[in-house]
Structure 1
Amino acid sequence: MDANGGIEIERKFDVDELAPLPRLQDLPGVQAIAEPVALDLAAVYFDTHHLALSAARITLRRRTGGDDAGWHLKLPGAANRRCEIHAPLGTNVPGEANVVPESLAQLVRVYVRDAPLIPIARLHTSRVVYALIGAGGETLAVLCDDRVRADRLIDEPASKAWREWEIELVEGPEDLLDAGQSVLESCGILLSRHASKLSRALGDRSPTAPASKQPRPTPGGPAGDVLLASLSEQIDVLHRHDPQVRQHADGAVHIMRVATRRLRSILATYHCLLDPTVVQHLRTELGWLAAVLGGSRDEQVLQRRLAGLLDREPPVLLLGPIRERLEARSEADVDTAGRSLVTALDSHRYFRLLDALDSLATTPPFTAAAGQDARVVVPDLIVKEWKKLRRAVRRAATTVPGPARDLALHAARKRAKRLRYAAETAQPLNPKRAARVSGFAQKLQTMLGDHHDSVIARERLLRLGGVDAYLRGENTFSYGRLHALEQQKAADAETLFWKTWSRRP
């Protein structure tokens, strides 16, 4: 990827045309002010026609002029910080200059989906930069004196002009910003009323600030609040990790997959609080997404498990090209799963699922049960999940050992996971009880997860060793040995599960 950048920490101030520059050299740590540098900057801003990026406080622009010419993507961060990512300027051919680089487009696709990115505003800025120099000659911060001309390009085009100051940290501490703000306020210069130059350029078309998040559910509140808080939290996880999955960040697929499964599980537990047709549709689509994410994640887990098995074996017991065969198969499957995932994340089906989830969070189709007391409704729903887990465990206990027992234990694992997620939603109502139930369910899930991973590993070893290697005329001893080791691991995991289950709360 050709994108790069860093964290942007700055503050903007509204000033009039005749405002004089304050004494910046009086700021703490500032030893000198460098000679001012004049810059002529031009930028075109991109968004969807409905301003999906602006609504999410994301800025995407193509700037020429200055020492940072190129494409800039600014993503919101914590504590008024913004993560700024750059990409090269690319071609200056007019038509091609309006094509957003894929390295940046993929980072905002979860917000824009399949809507085209179009120019929405053009800004010309005459900037004078004053660098604040520290005792060691380092640049602590810069003050930019900007005179801006802006043209809105969408709906009813409009133009405006203004002046603003911007203080941005470079190598200085954050309290330098506080000091700078104090100096400016003493001169009657206040923080800008506008979040960005773009929002000022858009004027009355600029999206309003997003509504505050749902209040924390309370024991005396409606059950719908508990459900909505849990759903909103997981939908937010999907939004935040979609770009990371596209960038192949470590752990991103796992986190996004867990959020997808949590959503699907929560909808199943709380189905009586929502329109059943909405629940059915969303659970079907979330199941599809979880399966796509799972294909990539499961192969990575299996790859690590088999590699660990091989690493612990004495070399003398690894006969034939077993390591090469296992690695080649894993790499091929990882590559196939990765391509399927990329295709899915750029599909109409995925984008419509995101639309449906957003709609669910903003206008949930609640039933009358959602308005009932959470202290009554939620514990009852968790008890139902307990009962389903007990039935699943009883079925496993009475199933003959072998493939059928493996499937039954896997079904019990999924029930334990659903109980865990259900109990976690009740944390605002009864933290201690919720922690006990979810903690126990997680233990069961972990043990049965290890058992299931062993089942999958044995299937791979049997297929490669018992069939493929045999047909090639290769030595199959090591495949059989690893299969036996995995069989013992599964037996140990099952024994631990039954022991833990006997001590259930």
Structure 2
Amino acid sequence: MGIEIEDKFDVSPEYAIPDLSGLADVVGPKGYQLVALYYDTPDLRLAARGVTLRRRRGGADPGWHLKLPKAKGVRQEITHPLTRSTKVVPAELAELVRAYTRGVELHPVAELDTRRDVTLLQDGETRLVEIADDRVKGTVYGEESKVVRWREVEAELLEGGSEALLAKVGKRLRKAGATPSEAASKLAKLLEPAPLPTAPTQPGTTGEIVVDYVAGQVSALLSQDPRVRRAEEDAVHQMRVAARRLRSALKAFKSVVLDTDHIQDELRWLGNVLGEARDLEVIRARFGKELATLAPELVTGPIQTRLGSDLLEREQQAYGRIKEALSGDRYYALLDALDGLAAAPALGKAAAKPAQERLRAIAAANWDRVTKRYDLAQAIDDLDRRELAMHDVRKAAKRARYTAEALQPTLGDDMGKLAKLAEGIQEVLGTYQDGVVAQELLAKEAESAREAGEDTFTYGLLIGVERNAADRAHAEFPKLWKKTLKAVTKVL
């Protein structure tokens, strides 16, 4: 797997690659013949999302290539060795695009036959930038078959180069007559997928801001799907955050976007599916860090196994359940519903109101919800019930934070400040809650260890560490709450 950083240019058939000497050592050009088959669904779902999946022969890197969009000019590329079959996509790659195909079969949709001349910029043996001069014959398969020919130039940053050097190369190419390409890829020039539908909202309205935010979070959730399937670092967390932000937005903006209760329920389900592995990952790292701070003589019995490899095994089992869920009809139905929501939401009367006026009122209402939850919690005499109610305060603070963050691009720094204040409440209450949960888990593990005849001394130490952390957060909160209320009045 790698990250591609490249600039693409359209050039005329008579274009000449300019002199690149003075930038670095120039090697080449060297010629290659490349033949690539591209795969997609019949309705070009991958192409519509900027995803390309190909089987390529020839050149320095023959094989299967899956390219996933990450940011402008940057793509994530996942490779697989060349297989004999041109009809069957390797299962590992087909799995990674399930969020887009949703069970629809992949088949060849186009072929690119490319004569490529490659020039390298090097510093000694270190490869800096590759300039590929491509003469392309593109063939579209299907009911509307066609053949198209064109020429283009790509400048790609290699492992030893810098973006500054890439920019200098681009400048020389443009000066010689190249123009930056608007197409994200060769395939995008050849195929014409139907554009993703967008909601018909009016500029400057509350509806425009809210629907754009929702669509952005849908894209964020989809972009994490392949990373979760590959168990990449922090992917489950990021996908869970996108699901939470979506659900929070649909709750906060319920007067703007209507009839989303079912989608909210399904987002809660997805969050729970993702949460099991994420919570185990966090608690395993937490216990590992705490054990590392203890003197060796204080770590007794096989506690590192119980709190390390045993929890890791449970985490891996949870990952298996995630992958199963992400390949099921319930998940596909949720993604279809989210696509529909982003494209054609049911809008309320609030959607037509000017954004500044209405959105600020929504942000204030969401903060008021936090204070009301706090007042209700403090009115409860029973300590256990009060703690449960304070967990509701934390959830309300998280929703207020997500709402403010969503509105910051429109309403400015005040929303950024409100988000930080809500996050402060959320974090302290979260520290307390995490400490309580950690104590409960440690107590269960200690009981299992005791039944197995193991020394449980270290479990007691860790429970003490967690209790102290929770108690500090509990003691800190009243002062933080008072300070936060004062600050919020200046923002709202």
TM-score surpassing 0.5?
yes
Aligned pairs (5 A) from 1:237-248: 237-248=220-231
CA distance in 1, matches of 2:341, 2:255: 15
- 1:207 equivalent in structure 2: 193
Contact 2:37 2:55 in 1 (8 A): yes
Deviation at 1:253, TM superposition (A): 1.5
Cα deviation for residue 500 of structure 1 reads 0.9
Counterpart Cα distance in 1 of 2:2 and 2:198: 29
Please list the CA deviations of residues 436-486 of structure 1 after superposition, one character each: whole Å capped at 9, or x if unmatched: 322221111000111111111111111121x32232233333323332332
Instruction: Confirm or deny that 1:304 pairs with 2:293.
Output: no
Find the residue that maps to 1:264 and give its secondary structure.
helix
Q: What's the CA shift for 1:336?
A: 1.9
Look up the equivalent residue of 1:408 and give its one-letter code. A
CA distance in 2, matches of 1:356, 1:392: 31
Q: Which residue matches 2:43?
A: 50
Task: Figure out how many residues of one structure are paired with residues of the other and give that number.
Answer: 478
TM-score of the aligned structures, taking structure 1 as reference length: 0.84
- How far apart, in 2, do the equivalents of 1:197 and 1:426 lie? 37
- The CA distance in 2 between the partners of 1:154 and 1:432, in whole Å, is 52
* Structure 1 equivalent of residue 415 of structure 2: 434
Show the counterpart of 2:4.
7
Per-residue Cα deviation, 1:86-116 (whole angstroms, up to 9, x for no partner): 22102x2xxx332222443344332223222
1:495 is aligned to 2:475: yes
Structure 1 counterpart of 2:322, from 318, 335, 341: 341
Q: State the TM-score, normalized to the length of structure 2.
A: 0.87
- 1:146 and 1:163 in contact (8 A); partners too: yes
Q: What amino acid sits opposite 2:466 in the alignment?
A: E
1:164 paired with 2:161, answer no
**2:489 matched residue in structure 1:** none
How do 1:335-414 and structure 2 match up within 5 A? 335-400=316-381, 403-414=384-395
Higher Cα Rg: structure 1 or 2?
Answer: 1
Matching residue's letter, 2:61:
D
CA contact (8 A) 1:378 1:426 kept: yes
Aligned to 2:253: 270
- Tell me the distance in 2 between the aligned counterparts of 1:273 and 1:395: 28
User: What per-residue deviation string (whole Å, max 9, x for no partner) do you get for residues 2-42 of structure 1?
Assistant: xx3442524343544xx4x63644765477673x6443332
Structure 1 unmatched runs, 5+: none
1:456 and 1:426 mapped to 2: Cα distance? 33
Structure-1 separation of matches of 2:126 and 2:416: 50
Paired AA for residue 142 in structure 2: I
Residues 27 and 122 in structure 2, CA contact (< 8 A), matched pair in contact too: no
Residues 1:106 and 1:174: Cα distance change in structure 2 (over 3 Å)? farther
Q: What does residue 143 of structure 2 align with?
A: 155
Q: Secondary structure at the match of 1:89?
A: coil
Deviation at 1:292, TM superposition (A): 1.0
- 1:8-407 aligned at under 5 Å gives the runs 8-16=5-13, 19=14, 22=16, 24-25=18-19, 29=23, 34=28, 37-90=30-83, 92=84, 96-125=85-114, 127=115, 129=117, 131=119, 141-148=130-137, 150-158=138-146, 160-169=147-156, 173-184=166-177, 196-202=185-191, 206-207=192-193, 221-276=204-259, 279-400=260-381, 403-407=384-388
- Native 8 Å contact 1:32 1:133 kept in 2: yes
The separation in 1 between residues aligned to 2:409 and 2:268, in whole angstroms, is 27
Name stretches of at least 5 consecutive residues in structure 2 with no aligned partner: 487-492
SS at match of 1:285: helix
User: Given that residues 205 and 352 in structure 2 are in contact (C-alpha distance below 8 angstroms), is that contact kept between their aligned partners in structure 1?
Assistant: yes
Cα distance in 2 for residues equivalent to 1:130 and 1:314: 58
The alignment's C-alpha RMSD in Å is: 3.1
Which letter maps to 1:9?
A: E
CA distance, structure 2, for counterparts of residue 322 and residue 410 of structure 1: 30
For 2:58, the aligned partner's letter is G
Query: Which of 404, 428, 446 lines up with 1:447 in the alignment?
Result: 428
Q: What is the one-letter code of the residue matched to 2:111?
A: R
Seen in structure 2, the aligned counterparts of structure 1 residues 425 and 10 have a Cα distance that, compared at 3 Å, is: closer
CA distance in 2, matches of 1:197, 1:346: 30
1:135 to partner: Cα distance: 8.2
Q: Deviations over 1:115-168 (max 9, x none)?
A: 22111112333x2525366685877544435252x432222333x252424343
CA distance in 1, matches of 2:356, 2:322: 40
Q: Determine if contact 1:39/1:65 at 8 Å carries over to the other structure.
A: yes
List per-residue Cα deviations over 1:179-236 (Å, max 9, x = no partner).
1232245xxxx6667654434443xxx1266689999x99xx3222232232123222
Q: Is the 8 A contact 2:18 2:172 kept in 1?
A: no
Q: Note the C-alpha offset of 1:239.
A: 2.2
Contact 2:214 2:249 in 1 (8 A): yes
- Give the match for residue 490 of structure 2: none
